[in-house]
Amino acid sequence: MPLVLLNKPYRVLSQFTDADGRPTLADYVNRSDVYAAGRLDADSEGLILLTDDGRLQARISQPSSKVVKTYWAQVEGVASEEKIVKLIAGVKLKDGPARALQAKRIGEPPGLWSRTPPIRRRDKVLDSWLEIRIDEGRNRQVRRMTAAVGLPTLRLIRGGIGPWKLGKLQSGESREMSNADAWAALQRRKQ
């Protein structure tokens, strides 16, 4: 019984089938016995977890579990301290308030793979990288939060979910661990 850690590429759907023929998880995971523990929109990249254990899937993905997700957001504009403080204090979204547990400016994440198509560059507009941690997972939440403080997201990568990190997985790569080891990692995280 595995937990699959996949670095989901850009424009890949977080499902195994698509009637319109778009790329899906089935293009990267050669297993039919696992399903996603949470979602990552097609425009976002990074860590997605897949398991065949329904209890583990629920523990990871249910909002009441408060599993922390770490995102790296390349944003348009300068991520000033004032804007970072606003992300932590909380912003108003159409579906209610949202706040980052932590937010900080970072350099480009080490080992970052190139994206196809690449992010458009503008000579007169700076961009910044942020690391943002949340314990929710509403639809496009991080993108909406950064936009609310005047920093539209250009690229969004999930770098971690709870105790699991993207590590050195390149886009489209995966690794497996047993569900028993996954449960143990969650238990250690609580202590």
Which residues are known to be catalytic? 41
2-12: pLDDT as tens digits: 899 999 999 99
Closest of 134, 131, 12 to residue 79, by C-alpha: 131
Same domain, 60 and 16: yes
Share above pLDDT 90 across residues of the chain, in percent, rounded to a whole number: 81
Same domain, 147 and 169: no
Q: Which residues pair with 13 in a beta bridge?
A: 24
Same domain, 157 and 98: yes
Cα(150)–Cα(130) distance, integer angstroms = 13
**What CATH number does residue 72 fall under?**
3.30.70.1560
Tally of structural domains, the chain: 2
Closest of 129, 138, 131, 65 to residue 97, by C-alpha: 138
Same domain, 88 and 155: yes
Query: Average of pLDDT values for 118-145?
Result: 89
The parent domain of residue 113 ranges over: 68-161
Same domain, 57 and 28: yes
Same domain, 39 and 79: no
